[in-house]
Amino acid sequence: MTIPKFQSIMRPLLGHLGDGQLHGTAETLASLGEHFDLSETELDELLPSGVQTVFKNRVAWAKSYLKQAALVEAPIRGKYQITERGREAFATDEIINMKFLERYEEYQAFRKRSRQTQDDSSGAVAEEKTPEELVEVGHKRIKQELAGELVDRIKACPSEFFEKLVVDLLLAMGYGGSRKDAGEAIGRGGDGGIDGIIKEDRLGLDVIYMQAKKWENTVGRPDIQKFAGALQGRRARKGIFMTTSEFSREAREYVTNIDTQIVLLDGRDLADLMIDFNLGVSLKSQYDIKEIDGDYFEVD
């Protein structure tokens, strides 16, 4: 049997998780490999990068999309289990694919965030794209998926870790000072909403104040006003407010109408920056796109 496409893996994957227990990757691959009657050669077939097998990659994508629709969940790192919604979906006997998942609001929001122009359930649009464009679409999709996983991981960590993370991120982005300088204000209770400080440059000609709010709820205008007041109390001109959740429209409008410069970074912004500056992520694979070197073939 040929290696199944990732959408064809979705229903068998739910069936594998149907006992309600936590399952790791190794046992899931073994179970699904047996279900699809895959040979050793098929199980060992690698992606062009040579880093991961094709089957493992497709199972991971099936699992990821089911998770976006809340049909499966990962309460423990590396362990997945079916949700009640997943049980209901499996009981329908319908074909479970990306079109099926569109009935769930969480998946709709995920698709909206991805800003995809390609219809993933059809090859019609893909045929109109060049190979380079398809690589770009795939790269954006992988980055968007990774960003979502980063936000989930950050939310599962203690607040103290989040405060450390935002300082590490600014240092990785090239802001001056050091971990010691930036850590001086972290953890000071009742410090007017200031969670950390960092020098804007190595000479310390200006200082940026930070607040890091690990929160599920939307951050509203009152929280930003309080932070702005704390900055004014220190005669500070610049601040960064970071959160694992989102900012309300009123909060974003407020920072555009005050003299103090305040940058708002929500969970998605943080994840994108972490990926761009290689914080909390590692290189999984890399593809080189090459073209003819015209100079080499020039003949005098």
pLDDT of residue 128: 53
Q: Which of 70-79, 82-91, 274-283 tops mean pLDDT?
A: 82-91
Is 48 a residue whose pLDDT tops 60?
A: yes
CB 251 within 8 A of CB 281: no
Fold of 6-114: Arc Repressor Mutant, subunit A (1.10.10)
Q: Is the pLDDT of residue 220 over 60?
A: yes
Among 44, 284, 7, which Cα is nearest to 149's?
284
Range with the poorest average pLDDT among 52-56, 135-139, 277-281: 135-139
Answer yes or no: is pLDDT of 270 > 90: yes
For residues 271 and 138, what is the distance between their CA atoms, to the nearest angstrom?
18
Residue 201: pLDDT above 90? no
> Tokens in use for 52?
């991961």
Strands (E), the chain: 23-24, 72-76, 79-82, 196-199, 207-213, 238-243, 261-265
Question: By C-alpha distance, which of 294, 275, 21 is closest to 153?
Answer: 275
Instruction: Cite the residue boundaries of each domain of the chain with CATH code 1.10.10.
Output: 6-114
Give CA–CA dist 185/196, Å, rounded. Answer: 5
Please tell me the distance from the alpha carbon of residue 240 to that of residue 219, in angstroms, as a whole number: 14
Mean pLDDT, rounded, of the chain: 85
Q: What is the pLDDT of residue 178?
A: 66
Determine the CATH number of domain 117-288: 3.40.1350.10
Q: Which of 56-60, 145-149, 282-286 is the least confident region?
A: 282-286
Provide the strand spans (E) within 206-266: 207-213, 238-243, 261-265
Quick one: pLDDT at residue 184?
A: 52
Q: Exposed (0-12), middle (13-18) or buried (19+): which is 99, by Cβ within 10 Å?
A: middle
pLDDT, tens digit, 9 for 90 and up, residues 100-140: 999 999 999 888 776 544 444 444 444 456 666 677 778 88
Closest CA to 167 of 232, 240, 231: 240
**pLDDT(209) > 80:** yes
Least confident among 54-58, 74-78, 208-212: 74-78
The token pair that represents 232 in the structure block: 């004014």
**Per the structure block, which two tokens stand in for 258?**
């005050």
Q: What is the pLDDT of residue 122?
A: 43
Structure tokens at 221: 């205008």
Give the range among 47-51, 93-97, 211-215 with minimum mean pLDDT: 47-51
Q: Which residues, 6 or more positions from 54, have their beta carbon under 8 angstroms from its beta carbon?
A: 3, 45, 46, 47
Residue range(s) of every CATH 3.40.1350.10 domain in the chain: 117-288
Sheet containing strand 261-265, strands side by side: 196-199, 207-213, 238-243, 261-265
pTM score above 0.85 = no
> pLDDT digit string (tens) for 154-184?
988 888 888 888 888 988 888 876 666 665 5
CA proximity to 211, closest of 175, 248, 251, 262:
262
Predicted pLDDT at 155: 87
